[in-house]
Structure 1
């Protein structure tokens, strides 16, 4: 988280500020708060989401939709605040050893689960062991491999009780690492590191995390209602230790897949935040409610090398360089997105020399139609074929459909002999097909889970949980392993990660498309939504309505 992304350009926020039911005294108090700059009116926020929640099991989640809901209903040892600075969550404080390999966390004694159970150190021990247990088959188990023995446990070489985590007592937790990790406190804000109530999880069995009632919460909100593929609702968690700082009483989500519907809701004053693309940007960009933001999420085309044609490097290189990325970003999307020059996004992280990763490596997948045609012809000759047919797996939103059709038109025109069919699927089903390798090409996205290039480049190690396309390069694996295990020379580590990304594109493992921008309309009375560059996209703990 980041996480596998849904194509969520239709996402929007809407706020209900109806004052029905307020007495005169309440209204006067509300008006006074408004003048002071605080919350006023009914604290109900309504949002649109583009996809169904795949799971609420923090150990099994792999996607942005799940992580966004978990960020607001659950809480780890530390959480992300404004400007992505880690701040105390279930833990009050921590102490680190001089060598940076041992952390001792003091948990707060007033933290509770929504069922009334206390949140204790044992809840973290249970969840972390469950995440790395080979039998759990958690795709995100690898994100815990900095914890002592986690990788060996996940490979089945050691039992789970050898994991470097220990409940000294109910409110003291010790964590041992394999190596110092400079961003460890930011890392543990990620959902896979959240605690779980063992008694509750075991009582739910295989239903845990699949319904609102079969999940328990320790964050600012609870998932109070979940109508699959239609809507879901969050309510303020009265058991939350910091509930006095949570202003919203209710957050309603409705699943809407197209931009035009969101814009229409905005215009009819039912929606207070609506995502925009293309012609809508041109229509609204001069209005005071128009906002654009850069996003460190990258969309790309996966190429499954289990397909005979895509196992050929020339065919992959032809696809990677054979379509107009600028056209997709600047014309088709027109929302602040930019053409992607690699896997690690622009303006995300800088190295020891303060140089931006993307700026250092440059554009590794420049469009070159003439060269792409030559590569495609060479690939066909090597394969002994005149034509190639491929299927493009895609999201089922309106905007994703437009991008899929554009890619098909560009590649079929620029690479004679290529035929592409498009298979649009709901988000959860698309993730399942990717995980099972049941696709040829797949339009996919990835956002960062923590502030380091590794959150992108380690996806494609041989047999990696998020590789999902049969890619393998021994040198690439070696460089990633060095980047994970050797923090003694940060400049050398940075250079290794730069080289690894270069190898990825020399092999044409993926075809980068664009780095996402967000263009949207927002009413001025929506306040306090905190947006994150990694982990869950939004925190609503500090959000409120002022009208």
Structure 2
């Protein structure tokens, strides 16, 4: 958030804005924080990677903003359950190949225009025709290619102003679970006509809207006002949001401690062992659907083919996850056992090949020697990370663990912010490996596997391709219950064979809030229900 979203600008690949009169003080990042008199809630965030078009936003900085400005047919409650939002009903046919979405007749965008079936249909078609960042989420709709690109010809049918049908390539019993993700949001006529302006000045159908023409102050903050036209279940209980783009979690925590920031969704490593005591009664430490990993692409020297598989497995078994979790994270992480999350139904430990995630120095050295027999190692291993996400300490500890086990040079490669790192990840220009993470978009094992590892996935920064993996996932969509899970387990076992990424640990939500707010709800995937927060 995590990607997000290959998300995660903060400990997981995780921004919003609002204009309002604020009598608050100036935070340590230079942004004006919200005061208690304005009923505006200030939260931490990061500069979005792209203009604010929902289907082109798959990282957490932009994700938290578009999820507040837009509403999809459904949304996810704090416990991960799927609830209706823009839709009045979502109904499948007998074999789950066609899903009829009936919208609420009172739905309006923040500019007062009605939210119609065409606004969903045309927004989705724009995503696939232009192959936007989240186009892959439409790959199962008729009229798209395997990567989600295409015109969706025959895949979407408008029945009337407020009703449309989604026609899938095959049965999908859990399709409704996806419809809470922001990629499925509608766009108003104005943005469909001028996406560039709509991305900079978004007009949405969600609980918040940009507060004025200059709401988004790039690299600083975004101000969101309550959308008076929103009539769905996520009605704002406050006067708006100010999302401040911090350059470091330490600066954000300092502002929170002095009540100049209301909510922080990830605390810095430096306070893991103390924040629950320092902010007693105002903290969260709970499991979340978030996983962190290190990606070492096959494009790098010594990491292609069989040599690359051996080296990634050796590196994985060189990382003393338990010690790093204890010393760096004060026990607020859990060593990874797979590529998904124990917070998701269907999670399973002990999959074939998962022993590669266990610290085993002797085996690591053995595998490294086998790789050297193919091609002797040269150079140094680098792991890139974004400095604004609180990652330096664990990256340094991970590099030291690898160095001490394998006897090679290993070091971190710091980027100023996540936007810069993500740009090089997408361009394939990082000098070495890089930290990455995934924050669940919707509560499903499939969501942890398809967007990050399928051959044409938008967040597959490892560049890994495996047709058998793709088929297992595709077949799982038309299966149900245990059968679907078994196919997804088989897909995961292929990941253990090739190790396109090296899972490190599952993240907890480690957040906190000021004395000025109440009703702070951290959700199943570590996000915050901003709309529910009240000012004291």
Q: TM-score surpassing 0.5? A: yes
Question: What residue number does 1:141 align with?
Answer: 135
Distance of 1:369 and 1:463 partners within structure 2: 35
Match of 1:127 among 123, 127, 131: 123
Asked if 1:189 is matched to 2:185, the reply is no
Q: CA deviation at 1:330?
A: 2.1
Structure 1 residue aligned with 2:344: 348
For structure 1, the 5+ residue unaligned runs are: 21-39, 351-355
The structure 1 residue matched to 2:206, chosen from 204, 219, 230, is 219
Q: Is the Cα–Cα contact under 8 Å of residues 335 and 517 in structure 1 kept in the other structure?
A: no
Residue aligned with 2:532, SS:
coil
Name the CA distance, whole Å, in 2 between partners of 1:198 and 1:475. Answer: 41
**Structure 1 residues 151-185: Cα deviation after superposition (integer angstroms, max 9, x where no partner):** 369455xxx25142122221121222223322222
Shift in Å, 1:58: 1.1
1:153 and 1:265 map into 2 onto residues whose CA distance is 43
Tell me whether 1:45 sits opposite 2:41 in the alignment.
yes
Give the distance between the partners of 2:286 and 2:210, measured in 1 at CA: 28
Shift of 1:377: 2.4
Q: Which residue of 2 aligns with 1:118?
A: 114
Paired with 1:421 and 1:544, the residues of 2 have a C-alpha distance of: 40
Q: 2:414, 2:234 → 1: CA distance?
A: 47
Summarize the Cα distance change of 1:364–1:149 in structure 2 as closer, same or farther, 3 Å threshold. Answer: farther
- The offset of 1:53, in angstroms, is 5.1
Paired residue for 2:248, among 248, 254, 258? 258
Does the C-alpha gap of structure 1 residues 196 and 363 become closer, same or farther in structure 2, counting only changes over 3 Å?
A: farther
Distance 1:528 1:198 in 2: 35
Does structure 2 retain, via aligned residues, the 8 Å contact 1:349–1:357?
A: no
Contact 2:6 2:438 in 1 (8 A): yes
What is the CA–CA distance in structure 2 between the aligned matches of 1:53 and 1:236, rounded to whole Å?
24
Contact kept, 8 Å, 1:392 with 1:442, in 2: the verdict is yes
From 53, 57, 61, the equivalent of 1:61 is: 57
Q: Which moved more, 1:237-246 or 1:167-176?
A: 237-246
Change (3 A) 1:417 1:521: closer
- Aligned: 1:455 with 2:447: yes
Moved more, 415-424 or 306-315: 415-424
Tell me how far apart the structure 1 counterparts of residues 131 and 101 of structure 2 sit (CA, whole Å). Answer: 28
Are the equivalent residues in 2 in contact too, given 1:321–1:511 (CA < 8 A)? Answer: no
**Which structure 2 segments of 5+ residues have no match?**
24-35
Report the Cα distance in structure 1 between the residues aligned to 2:139 and 2:251, rounded to whole angstroms.
43
Q: How does 1:300-449 map to 2 (within 5 A)?
A: 300-311=293-304, 312=307, 313-334=309-330, 336-350=332-346, 356-358=347-349, 364-383=356-375, 385-397=376-388, 399-420=390-411, 422-439=413-430, 440-449=432-441
**1:4 corresponding residue in structure 2:** 6
**Alpha-carbon distance between aligned partners in 1 of 2:387 and 2:250, rounded to the nearest angstrom:** 15
Cα-to-partner distance string for 1:223-252 (whole Å, 9 max, x where unaligned): 221111111111111222349942211211
1:236 alignment partner in structure 2: 226
Q: Secondary structure at the match of 2:396?
A: helix
| In 2: Cα distance, 1:175 partner to 1:375 partner | 48
What is the alpha-carbon root mean square deviation over aligned residues? 3.1
Shift of 1:410: 2.1
1:522 deviates by: 2.8
Matched, 1:502 2:498: no
**Paired residues of 1:344 and 1:358 also in contact (CA < 8 A):** no
- Residue 171 of structure 1 pairs with residue 158 of structure 2: no
Other structure's SS at 1:388 match: coil
Q: 1:478, CA displacement in angstroms?
A: 3.0
Counterpart for residue 466 of structure 1: 459
Corresponding position of 1:71:
67
Contact 1:376 1:415 in 2 (8 A): yes
Q: TM-score of the superposition, structure 2-length normalised? A: 0.86
1:404 offset after TM fit, Å? 2.2
Partner residue, 2:284: 291
2:311 partner SS: helix
SS in structure 2 at match of 1:343: coil
Q: Distance in 2 between matches of 1:283 and 1:307?
A: 40
Aligned partners of 2:99 and 2:165 also within 8 Å: yes
The answer to whether the 8 A contact 1:380-1:387 is kept is: no
Q: Deviations over 1:61-115 (max 9, x none)?
A: 1112212111111011122234233333222223332222222222222211122
**Distance 1:228-1:181 versus aligned 2 partners, 3 A rule:** same
From the superposition, tell whether residues 284 and 196 of structure 1 become closer, same or farther in structure 2 (CA, over 3 Å).
closer
1:163-211, Cα deviation, whole Å (9 max, x unpaired): 42122221121222223322222211111111112443323x44441x2
Question: Which whole-Å CA distance do the structure 2 matches of 1:386 and 1:161 have between them?
Answer: 48
Shift of residue 276 of structure 1? 2.9
| Distance change (3 Å), C-alpha of 1:152 and 1:238 | same
Query: C-alpha distance in 2, partners of 1:197/1:153?
Result: 25
Q: Is the 8 A contact 1:344 1:456 kept in 2?
A: yes
Return the offset for 1:368: 1.1
SS of 1:262 mapped into structure 2: helix
Q: Quickly say closer, same or farther: Cα 1:475–1:260, change in 2 above 3 A.
A: same
